[in-house]
Structure 1
Amino acid sequence: MSDDSSCPVSWHYWGNSCYKITETRFSWSDARDECRNLGGVLGVPSSYQENEFILLQLSQTKGMVWIDCNDLEVEGIWKCREGKVEVAYRNWYPGEPNNVGDEDCAVLAKGWWGSEGQCDLEEGIGKCRAGNVEVACRNWAAALFQACQCYTFMYDDSSCPESWHYWGNSCYKITEAAFSWADARDECRNLGGVLGAPSSDQENEFIAQFIPLDGAAVWIDCNDIEVEGRWKCREGNVEVAYTNWYPGEPNSKGDEDCAFMLMRLGEHQWHDVSCRILKRAICEMAGRPVLHV
């Protein structure tokens, strides 16, 4: 699940991104640089819903924020971006942008967008101090606040719950208890995941390293319960083409309809067996991206 806990302290989560209105005031270009320093980008709403979310954060500070929207390259052609992605959404106040006084950068205030004074000011125009940062500005109010949108996501073991292990954008866990195949599948669902089934040699190797002892085995989501001899292997609802059967397997001796991975002398191949036998299970869930600033 993603919520405010997905973001650093003082950042707020919405739409798979984290947002922060900085306390320090900047010119437009310095605001953009500051957001980059924080690991993100200067934000710009790409929908009415995002605009409203930023406005909600802004209402707590009673100010206005710079957004990444400008006509610096060509006068009158406004480019609005989220990182390097062009944003088609606009929410200009009626009559804006009007370019009064060479207004080349955009702010968000009271839900509307407006064009404001020069983004990068020449020396001698005037300076306003915000904390320990000296900000050159013509229109002090325009530099009052700025919005940063940060989405520098990384995956590692911290993407997974405790005692789960990260690999290939997923988290894996071998259960402590042993279950029948059907109960193993239910247990993985109860843990928030699915009964796993390797889809490559690399994934098979990764799972094998967590099988605790030589001779130990774990259930995988591979069976021919529906049609005898037609084995279906899945990761969640996705059919897996990869298999790693031990030579001569599956042989279906004694109504063997479910598959397990066996660790034996460094080998970790698949066997079929009765679904009623008790074995531990390999559970898999999607990893959660963790925000790093």
Structure 2
Amino acid sequence: MGAALKPEPSNDFDYSFKIIDNGWILYEEHEYYVSNRTTSAERARASCKKHGGDLAVIESEAERKFLWKYNNYYGTHSGDLYIGLTVGLDGEFGWLDQTPVTYAPWAPGEPNSGNDDETCVAMKAITGLWYDTNCGSTNKFICERHNSSVHSTVAPTMPVPVGGCADGWLFLITSASNCLVLMKKTEKIGLMHEPLVKNKEETWLL
């Protein structure tokens, strides 16, 4: 579990790094991309892998502080960030690429496995510490790739949703090819007609 730490300023940035691609930076032999857009953990990882990387594996205090302060100094500052750590329902955690976990700066009270559905991990923008969260939550994210990776000439973009459905919607394979969203009991279920046509007004059935 995380322990209370003495607050540290997040806006003092004294690190040397190199800009190598559109949005990618090189620091200590690793390349990173710190997103300013938010999405689910699955789409964040797909975006990283599309450009030769994966969600970041953070193995030291120095690496964590660099990424945390870089985000606060050069990024949008607000918004937590997905990293490549996952938490099992048994409380065990590990990196997506199977790297051994030797460093894990959890925020106080974390991981807490809230509602038994918090299996992804994000870094708090305010403190740089980690917490478990639902993988469907929308957060920014940090990609990482090694120098040997093939360089991309563009920044990671969100993969095209299945069926062209908007974020948070599911593609329902029927004769009408609809997008489906599940809402709370007090809300009605909406269906967005397909095919989706760019700049075409969406039609809702309530």
Normalising by structure 1, report the TM-score: 0.41
Q: Name the CA distance, whole Å, in 1 between partners of 2:35 and 2:86.
A: 20
Q: Name the CA distance, whole Å, in 2 between partners of 1:213 and 1:248.
A: 26
Once the two structures are TM-superposed, the CA of residue 213 in structure 1 deviates from its matched residue by 4.3
- Map Cα deviations across residues 76-106 of structure 1 (whole Å, 9 max, x no partner): xxxxxxxxxxxxxxxxxxxxxxxxxxxxxxx
1:185-204 equivalences under 5 Å are: 185-204=45-64
- Map Cα deviations across residues 56-75 of structure 1 (whole Å, 9 max, x no partner): xxxxxxxxxxxxxxxxxxxx
Q: Which has the higher strand share?
A: 1
2:39 counterpart residue number: 179
Alignment partner of 1:247 out of 95, 98, 108: 108
Once the two structures are TM-superposed, the CA of residue 233 in structure 1 deviates from its matched residue by 2.4
Once the two structures are TM-superposed, the CA of residue 166 in structure 1 deviates from its matched residue by 1.2
Determine what percentage of the aligned residue pairs are the same residue: 26
Gaps of 5+ in 2: 1-16, 150-206
1:258 counterpart residue number: 120
Is the 2:87–2:132 contact (alpha carbons within 8 Å) kept by the matching residues of 1?
A: no
Is the 1:215–1:262 contact (alpha carbons within 8 Å) kept by the matching residues of 2?
A: no
Gaps of 5+ in 1: 1-155
Is the 1:258–1:274 contact (alpha carbons within 8 Å) kept by the matching residues of 2?
A: yes
Is the 1:233–1:241 contact (alpha carbons within 8 Å) kept by the matching residues of 2?
A: no
Runs of 4+ in 1 over 6 A off after TM superposition: none
Question: 1:186 aligns to what SS in structure 2?
Answer: helix
Alignment partner of 1:161 out of 21, 28, 32: 21
Q: Name the CA distance, whole Å, in 1 between partners of 2:18 and 2:62.
A: 17
Q: Structure 1 residues 167, 250: CA separation in 2 closer, same or farther (over 3 Å shift)? A: same
Once the two structures are TM-superposed, the CA of residue 285 in structure 1 deviates from its matched residue by 0.9
Asked if 1:224 is matched to 2:60, the reply is no
Q: CA RMSD in A?
A: 2.1
1:23-62 equivalences under 5 Å are: none
- Map Cα deviations across residues 22-65 of structure 1 (whole Å, 9 max, x no partner): xxxxxxxxxxxxxxxxxxxxxxxxxxxxxxxxxxxxxxxxxxxx
Q: Compare relative contact order (CA 8 Å, sep 6+) and give the higher one, 1 or 2.
A: 2
- Map Cα deviations across residues 147-206 of structure 1 (whole Å, 9 max, x no partner): xxxxxxxxx626x32321111211111123322112211110012111102100000011
1:100-139 equivalences under 5 Å are: none
Q: How many residues align?
A: 129
2:129 counterpart residue number: 269
